[in-house]
């Protein structure tokens, strides 16, 4: 088991990539804190993990709420005694809205969930991990939108670029000179998850821009979860501050 007894917090773990990560990590021996805003989804994932012999507990959390983030990380230490891996997976899209049409409300919501939430979670996790002899691992689920100008609207692309920068800053600050914390990001392309449900009224200009990037193979959530497993395990012990693209070759063309 690659994650035996590693205490792992995963946000957005009630569905999609987060759910796939939670189930896979539990199969690999992790003790999983299933964090999501949807209580019914949390209960379903925790139940599935336990039915398959794994260990999990659930925490309902709005990742834009500082106190709820603190409660989430404390659930790991209170229940299992440590926090070894944090996966910031929760995120939303922005209907491909370009700068000229971005409202303050849309900008604040997307940045809040996609960037400020992960910052707050990383802050709590780092201050726990620094007190542990074994340190810890942070995985931020970014996007190819965090590497290029399209693949999303202005708020989404900015939030994911910011998440990549946050990841590299953590890695270079807390991982230097044999530091105890590693931080890496995943940059998925299209994935078959319910984040697509947040695309309600795609902006025609933004849609045209992403169309210029060409069609992309759509991954299943487990394919991204396997990348996260690598980053959470000792197999990636010398990988720090990196961004692993998992887009089926979409951006290689």
Report the C-alpha gap between 251 and 253 in whole angstroms. 5
Domain count, the chain: 1
From first to last of its 253 residues, what are the pLDDT tens digits of the chain? 999 999 999 999 999 999 999 999 999 999 999 999 999 999 999 999 999 999 999 999 999 999 999 999 999 999 999 999 999 999 999 999 999 999 999 999 999 999 999 999 999 999 999 999 999 999 999 999 999 988 789 999 999 999 999 999 999 999 986 679 999 999 999 888 766 666 677 767 756 666 656 666 788 999 999 999 999 999 999 999 999 999 988 788 7
1 occurs within a structural domain: no
Active site residues: 156
Q: Which structural domain range is residue 197 located in?
A: 7-252
Question: What is the CATH number for 66?
Answer: 3.40.50.720
Helix 154-174 and helix 117-129, axial crossing angle in degrees, nearest 10: 10
Whether 2 maps to a domain, the answer reads no
Contacts of 114 (CB under 8 A, 6+ apart): 91, 92, 156, 159, 160, 162, 163
Residue 238 falls inside a structural domain: yes
């Amino acid at each position: 088991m690659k994650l035996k007894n590693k205490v792992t917090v995963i946000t957005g773990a009630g569905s999609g990539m987060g759910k796939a990560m939670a189930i896979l990590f539990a199969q690999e021996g992790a003790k999983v804190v299933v964090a999501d805003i949807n209580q019914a989804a949390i209960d379903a994932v925790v139940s599935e993990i336990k039915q398959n012999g794994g260990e999990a507990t659930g925490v309902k959390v709005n990742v834009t709420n500082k106190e709820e983030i603190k409660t989430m990380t404390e659930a790991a230490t209170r229940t299992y005694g440590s926090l070894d891996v944090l996966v910031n997976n929760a995120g939303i899209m922005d209907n491909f809205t370009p700068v000229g049409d971005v409202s303050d409300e849309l900008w604040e919501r997307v940045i809040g969930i996609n960037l400020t939430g992960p910052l707050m979670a990383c802050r709590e996790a780092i201050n726990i991990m620094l007190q542990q002899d074994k340190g810890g691992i942070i995985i931020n689920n970014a996007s190819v939108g965090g590497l290029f100008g399209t693949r999303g609207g202005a708020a989404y692309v900015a939030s994911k670029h910011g998440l990549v920068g946050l990841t590299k800053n953590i890695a270079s600050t807390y991982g230097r000179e044999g530091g105890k914390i590693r931080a890496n990001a995943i940059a998925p392309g299209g994935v078959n998850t319910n984040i697509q449900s947040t695309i309600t009224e795609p902006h025609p200009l933004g849609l045209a821009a992403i169309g210029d990037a060409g069609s992309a193979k759509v991954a299943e959530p487990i394919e991204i979860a396997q990348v996260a497993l690598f980053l959470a395990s000792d197999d990636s012990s010398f990988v720090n501050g990196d961004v692993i693209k998992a887009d089926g070759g979409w951006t290689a063309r």
